[in-house]
Amino acid sequence: MHPQPVRALLIVDVQNDFCEGGSLAVAGGAAVAGAISDYLASPEADGYTRVVATQDCHVEPGAHFSAEPDFVASWPPHCVASTPGALFHPALDTSRIEEVFRKGAYAAAYSGFEGSAPDGESLEDWLRERSVSAVDVAGIATDYCVRATALDAVRAGFATTVLLSLTAGVAPGTSQAAIGALRAAGVTVTGAPRTGTAVTGLAQPGDPQSG
C-alpha cells in the first residue's frame, strides 16, 4: 500500500487591496476569502499537513506601479508594505496558516515561489524540508498570481492542483487562458473561478503575464 502524499494548501494573496474596496479589487475577492475559511473548517481540509499563505508586499517595485497603468504589466499602487491594503482580508481565517511568504518588495513577483518567509527561506525550500509532495492552490487572482504560483509549483516537481472555486479571476478571458496554460503544464484544475472586471478599462490579453 502506497503512503499518502504529504499535502499543503497554498493560499495566494487574499489581501484587502485585491478584494472589494481595495485599490486593485478583483470582483469576488471577499467571497473567496470567506469560502477559503469555510473550506479550512471542513473535513476535506483535514488532509492538509501544512497550510501556508503568500502576500504581495511592495516597497518600490519599479515599473510594476504606474500612474498610467496598462493593467497588463503595470498596475495602480497596491499592497504597499505596512499599509492596510497589504493585510489579509478579515474574512480569511488565518488560524491554520503556519507561515507567510512575502513577495514583490522591489519587483513584480507574481509567483509565491518568488517570496520568502521572515527568516529568508524560500517557499520551495520550506515545503521540501517538510516532505511536502503535493500542493493545492487557492486565492487571488486566478489569471495572475494563482496561475504563476501553480506553474512554478508543478515545474518544481510538486503534484499541483488549483481549486478554481476558491479563486477569483481578474477577467473571464485571461482566466480561461490561465486555465489552459495550467492544464498544458500538467496542473490539475477543479471547479470554476469567480471572474469579473477588476478595474475599469482593464485589458484582456490572450495570455496573461506570469512573471
Q: Which of 5, 28, 20, 23 minimizes the C-alpha distance to 138?
A: 28
| Across 183-201, average pLDDT | 74
Taken in order 164, 169, 171, 175, the sign of the CA dihedral is: negative
Hey, where are the domains in the chain?
A: 7-195
**pLDDT of 205 strictly over 60:** no
pTM, whole model, 2 decimals?
0.87
CATH architecture of 7-195: 3-Layer(aba) Sandwich (3.40)
Q: Which residues are catalytic?
A: 13, 103, 145
Each residue of 82-141: pLDDT tens digit? 899 999 999 999 999 999 999 987 677 889 999 999 999 999 999 999 999 999 999 999
Q: Which three cell numbers stand for residue 4?
A: 499518502
Q: Where are the alpha helices (DSSP H) in the chain?
A: 29-40, 123-129, 147-155, 172-184
* CA distances to 89, 104, 122 from 108, in Å: 21, 5, 17
Q: How far apart are CA 94 and CA 53, in angstroms?
A: 9
Q: How far apart are CA 48 and CA 51, in angstroms?
A: 7
Contact 171, 141 (CB under 8 A): no
Strands (DSSP E) found in the chain: 7-12, 48-56, 99-103, 134-140, 159-169, 188-190, 194-195
| Furthest-apart CA atoms within the chain: distance in Å | 58
Each residue of 10-62: pLDDT tens digit? 999 999 999 999 988 999 999 999 999 999 999 999 999 999 999 998 777 77
Specify whether the backbone of 96 is left (phi greater than 0), alpha (psi in -120 to 50) or beta. alpha
pLDDT, residue 5, reads: 85
